[in-house]
Amino acid sequence: MYWQIITNGLLLGGLYSCIAAGFSLVWGVLNIINILHGSLIVLGAYLAYFAHAQYGLNPFVIAVPVGLATFVFGYVIQRVSINRVIGKPVLITLSLTFGLDLILNDSMISLFQADYRKISFDPPLPIIEIGSVLIPVDRLIATAISLACVVVIWILLRSTRLGRAIIAVRADIATAPLMGIRVHDVYALSFAIAAALAGISGALLAAIFPISPLMAGGYLSKSFAICVFGGLGNLPGAIAGGLALGLIESLASAWFGPQYMVTVSFCVLLALLYFKPNGMFGKRGFE
């Protein structure tokens, strides 16, 4: 029984890692708590849902194209609005992203309604049985894609000119322009990459769970919790934090019931904040 609980937690946590990576990137580079993040995830989920419903496209196959669509959307949003409040007091940036979230979420409710929708595979995807542990193939594929996306972004940050520019801006915003770095371009691309990760996460979630615009707040709160678990702006920490949250939720659901899953998770979060305010890794930035 416990192996099944742990397996479920790890599969769920892998998905959470991709959900939180983009949120962590924006928070770490732009120093903005992006309230819009949850609605971007739901937008990606609906793009995948309608691509499947209208054209029969597999959500796992179109996850990256969905991410490209949300990349463009995020880039435009950052250039048009968010770029104007970079460096402003936190209340201003929170108010802007909160307003953008209301616009996007209410637009999705108007277009798609608040009813829950679910992608159904025909034929259903198989379940792998290893001893007494059952592994749904859809969750396994989603987790693999999710973790692969986070690893690719981490490699991009470590090994490319754009990645080094992002790290430089995060480390010292005053010195970065003196090194020839176009800071506002870095901000826009960082936000767009985060939006792409949100869109991919949404497409993967749509392949497994029912979707609704009402779920945006839940995804946002999980992203915030994982960033606290793993450390601000730390992509390996996002993976570790996502896996940790998935395990905590799975264990809490088994021990106390699913109705207490979120409560237990945030109690653990508060305890972690008390003992390790900078997260499990105890460091900030893309180190």
10: number of Cβ within 10 Å: 16
Residue 201 lies in a domain: yes
Both tokens of 175, joined, read: 């010195």
Phi, psi of 231 (to 5 degrees): 100, 140
Please give the residue range of the domain that contains residue 206. 21-215
Q: Per-residue pLDDT for 282 more than 60?
A: no
Rg (CA), the chain: 19
Total count of domains within the chain: 1
Q: Per-residue pLDDT for 215 more than 90?
A: yes
Both tokens of 32, joined, read: 């903005």
Both tokens of 248, joined, read: 């905590």
Q: Per-residue pLDDT for 121 more than 70?
A: yes
Residue 258 lies in a domain: no
Residue 189 lies in a domain: yes
Per residue in 74-109, pLDDT (tens digit) is 999 999 999 999 888 889 999 999 999 999 999 999
Q: Are 27 and 265 in contact (CB under 8 A)?
A: no
Both tokens of 213, joined, read: 């615009």
Give me the helix-helix angle, 183-206 and 37-55, nearest 10°.
50
pLDDT band of residue 125 (cuts 50, 70, 90) is: confident
Report the sign of the C-alpha dihedral through residues 98, 101, 105, 111, in that order.
positive
Question: Quick check: pTM over 0.75?
Answer: yes
Q: What pLDDT does residue 100 have?
A: 97
Both tokens of 23, joined, read: 């949120």
Structure-token match 């395990």, residue found: 247
Residue 109 lies in a domain: yes
Residue 124 lies in a domain: yes
Residue 248 lies in a domain: no
Q: Are 211 and 116 in contact (CB under 8 A)?
A: yes
Residue 220 lies in a domain: no
When mean pLDDT is compared across 30-39, 189-198, 267-276, the lowest value belongs to: 267-276
Q: Are 170 and 29 in contact (CB under 8 A)?
A: yes
Both tokens of 155, joined, read: 């490699």
- Residue 250 CA to residue 245 CA, distance in Å, equals 8
Residue 247 lies in a domain: no
